[in-house]
Amino acid sequence: MQDTLTSGPVLTKTVELCDTIVRDPAFQSLKANIETFLADETAKELYRTVAEKGEYLHHKQHQGVQLGDDEIAEYEQHREALLGNPVARAFLDAQEGIRSVQDTVTRYVTKTIEIGRVPTEADFATCGSGCSCHH
């Protein structure tokens, strides 16, 4: 039984889903934005600088060191430059868009396996922790 779930119709439909995703114009646009970013040295350097400075500040904070106002201001200045660059901004938005696709697919497949049927929107409705409405 397990082999048919990993090689038969389940795999066929999974490949079809993958094909549907990569052919979707919105997904193609996200990928194009990523490719544009990867070809733009200025945008990549802005991204790298913000990532490195953010990691450095996080490490300092984690060590219990108080961050100086000048360090925070410098980080924010670099972050604003990153967000102000159209290529970098499109890249960040594309990353979020692809993450959203991944999250949606994972959520639906996980819920299907969990409940043993194709989920409806109602299957995803929750009221939050401590609610007694039994969603």
The tens digit of pLDDT for each residue in 52-89 reads: 999 999 999 999 999 999 999 999 999 999 999 999 99
Q: CA 75, CA 68: separation in Å to the nearest integer?
A: 11
Residue 130 is given by DSSP the state T
How does pLDDT run across 3-18, given as a tens digit for each residue? 767 778 989 999 999 9
When pLDDT is averaged across residues 105-133 and rounded to a whole number, the result is 84
Selection from 107, 82, 102 nearest residue 30 by Cα:
102
pLDDT at 1 over 60: no
Structure tokens belonging to residue 114: 């969990």
pTM for the whole thing?
0.80
Burial 119-134 (b: 16+ CB within 10 A, else e): eeeeeeeeeeeeeeee
pLDDT tens profile 93-116 = 999 999 999 999 999 999 999 999
What CATH number does domain 2-107 carry, 1.10.3720, 3.40.50, 1.10.8, 1.20.1500?
1.20.1500
Note the pLDDT of residue 44. 98
CA dihedral 55, 49, 99, 91 (to 10 degrees): 170
pLDDT reported for residue 2: 62
Q: What is the pLDDT of residue 129?
A: 58
| Residues sharing a CB contact under 8 Å with residue 74, sequence separation 6 or more, in sequence order | 53
Burial of 82 (0-12, 13-18, 19+ CB in 10 A): buried
Q: What is the pLDDT of residue 6?
A: 76
Domain boundaries, the chain: 2-107
